[in-house]
């Protein structure tokens, strides 16, 4: 029995459990895997993620790990160096293997008072009226709870049991990563190749990346965008090997790519039924991934933090119902940015658009600096400059045109 049950100990669930614990709530964090556990990811941390990790007290942990100045964007005959803009956020990003990062965030949750269980797969919910009264696990155990936070990732088995629907008519990600030894593992820039070509030389609607980890290895990966109408017809493992071979000389790779792993990614809040009377979905399970760069660690950390604060502020009110409150909060924080970003992501999947506009964008340091800022979710509510105003205006217009706005 617990007041708050959190299912899934990725960045979202561990952040939620940590902030619940810090708010004095009785919280239990349960995961299907045994920690430390790996998961497919590029391991890239934007300044916004760094700020959330700092709030969790992980700055000392990040010291001495890979730190980067910004993005080296390459493609269509150009190479641009785009520093992180700074402003209200740190002026550096980072990268840390998820095997280590997720265990560290989970440890913060434990240190903040959360109890934890591992190797327990949640299977279904137990309902009492319109409320979840407990969660049933694969081993037959039931844990009772007053409130539930679902943070079980992109597939979200428990979310599905609660009626969560992922709309694949909206752009989603298909991505693969691996690790490889590199003599440039301490390069101070993360690199993205925006002209990603398949084995036959065809241009794909995605990008390849090399994220230095500072430990003798880099995270190398490829990701493409897809929709129901335009599925990604690509062999990801083959593409990953092909891309790594293309980068071998530049990055001074040694040996083969190890631990290749691919996954699908819901994006831009393209998920409905994200909350009920006493439960909420956070992180990937709520589709909180940036449609333009596939970033989700920060959104997981942030939505975990938000959900914990919401629970802490409403725990005294047993009649509190989150069914509309939670999607509204998500909409306030991410709605306009997700709406415009996923509209642009949808356009990128249209054949001929990328080959036409990609080279134009890459010729302009100014346009790409703006792109990095909007793609990296680096416009904060406090920003009032022209780019921020235009982006927010476009977002407000876009959401009005949405047949199905984010989180609905």
Ligand X SMILES: Cc1cc2nc3c(=O)[nH]c(=O)nc-3n(C[C@H](O)[C@H](O)[C@H](O)COP(=O)(O)OP(=O)(O)OC[C@H]3O[C@@H](n4cnc5c(N)ncnc54)[C@H](O)[C@@H]3O)c2cc1C
- Which residues lie near ligand X (CB under 6 A)? 7-13, 30-33, 39-44, 121-122, 151-153, 157-158, 175-177, 221, 263, 265, 283-284, 289, 294-298, 300
Task: Name the minimum Å distance from CB 359 to ligand X.
Answer: 25
- Nearest-angstrom CA–CA distance, 44 and 32: 24
Residue with tokens 């691996």: 178
- Nearest-angstrom CA–CA distance, 160 and 188: 41
325 by DSSP, 3-state: which? Answer: helix
Task: Name the minimum Å distance from CB 213 to ligand X.
Answer: 11
Task: Name the minimum Å distance from CB 76 to ligand X.
Answer: 23
Task: Name the minimum Å distance from CB 360 to ligand X.
Answer: 26
The residue nearest ligand X at its CB is 296
Task: Name the minimum Å distance from CB 190 to ligand X.
Answer: 9
- Nearest-angstrom CA–CA distance, 185 and 347: 34
Residue with tokens 């071998």: 248
Which structure tokens are listed for 399? 């959401």
Considering beta carbons, is residue 37 or 197 the nearer one to ligand X?
37
Q: In Å, what is the CA distance from 272 to each residue of 5, 15, 46? A: 21, 22, 27
Considering beta carbons, is residue 12 or 354 the nearer one to ligand X?
12
- Nearest-angstrom CA–CA distance, 146 and 315: 9
Task: Name the minimum Å distance from CB 103 to ligand X.
Answer: 10
Considering beta carbons, is residue 137 or 253 the nearer one to ligand X?
137
Task: Name the minimum Å distance from CB 287 to ligand X.
Answer: 10
Considering beta carbons, is residue 208 or 394 the nearer one to ligand X?
208
Considering beta carbons, is residue 33 or 402 the nearer one to ligand X?
33
Task: Name the minimum Å distance from CB 199 to ligand X.
Answer: 19
Angle, CA 348 vertex, CA 346 and CA 354 arms, to 5°: 165
**DSSP assignment of 71-93, as one string?**
EEEEETTEEEEEE---TTS-S-E
Provide the b/e sequence for 18-35 (b: ≥16 CB within 10 Å): bbbbbbebbbbbbbbbee
- Nearest-angstrom CA–CA distance, 154 and 35: 19
Considering beta carbons, is residue 289 or 379 the nearer one to ligand X?
289
Q: Rounded to 5 degrees, what are φ and ψ at 228?
A: -50, -45
Q: In Å, what is the CA distance from 132 to each residue of 138, 149, 280, 327? A: 17, 11, 11, 18
* Contact partners, residue 26, CB within 8 Å, separation at least 6: 2, 3, 4
Residue with tokens 């989700």: 296
Which structure tokens are listed for 387? 């780019």
Task: Name the minimum Å distance from CB 222 to ligand X.
Answer: 8
């Amino acid at each position: 029995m617990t007041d708050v049950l959190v299912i899934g100990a990725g960045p979202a669930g561990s952040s939620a459990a940590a902030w619940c614990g810090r708010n004095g709530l009785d919280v239990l964090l349960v995961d299907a895997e045994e920690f430390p556990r790996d998961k497919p990811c590029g391991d890239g941390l934007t300044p916004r993620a760094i700020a959330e990790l700092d709030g969790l007290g992980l700055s000392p942990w990040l010291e001495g790990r890979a730190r980067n100045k910004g993005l080296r964007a390459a493609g269509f005959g150009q190479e641009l160096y785009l520093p992180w803009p700074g402003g209200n956020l740190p002026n550096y990003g980072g990268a840390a293997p998820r095997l280590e990062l997720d265990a560290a965030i989970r440890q913060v949750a434990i240190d903040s008072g959360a109890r934890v269980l591992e190797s327990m797969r949640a299977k279904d919910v137990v309902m009492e009226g319109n409320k979840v009264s407990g969660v049933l696990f694969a081993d037959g155990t039931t844990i009772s709870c007053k409130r539930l936070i679902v943070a079980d990732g992109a597939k979200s088995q428990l979310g599905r049991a609660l009626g969560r629907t992922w709309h694949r008519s909206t752009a989603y990600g298909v991505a693969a990563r691996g690790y490889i030894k590199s003599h440039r593992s301490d390069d101070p820039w993360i690199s993205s190749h925006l002209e990603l070509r398949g084995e036959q030389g065809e241009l794909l609607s995605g990008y390849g990346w090399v994220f230095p980890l500072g430990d003798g290895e880099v995270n190398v990966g490829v990701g493409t965008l897809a929709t129901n109408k335009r599925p990604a017809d690509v062999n990801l493992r083959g593409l990953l090997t092909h891309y790594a071979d293309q980068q071998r000389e530049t990055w001074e790779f040694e040996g083969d790519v190890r631990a290749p792993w691919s996954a699908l990614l819901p994006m831009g809040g393209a998920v409905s039924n994200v909350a009920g009377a006493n439960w909420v979905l956070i992180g990937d399970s709520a589709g909180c991934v940036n449609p333009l760069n596939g970033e989700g660690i920060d959104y997981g950390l942030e939505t975990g933090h938000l959900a914990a604060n919401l629970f802490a502020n409403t725990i005294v009110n047993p009649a509190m119902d989150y069914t509309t409150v939670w999607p509204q909060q998500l909409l306030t924080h991410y709605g306009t940015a997700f709406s415009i970003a996923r509209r642009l992501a949808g356009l990128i999947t249209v054949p001929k658009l990328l080959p036409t506009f990609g080279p134009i964008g890459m010729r302009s340091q100014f346009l790409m600096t703006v792109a990095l800022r909007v793609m990296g979710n680096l416009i904060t509510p406090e920003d009032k400059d022209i780019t921020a105003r235009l982006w927010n205006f476009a977002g407000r217009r876009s959401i009005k045109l949405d047949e199905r706005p984010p989180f609905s």
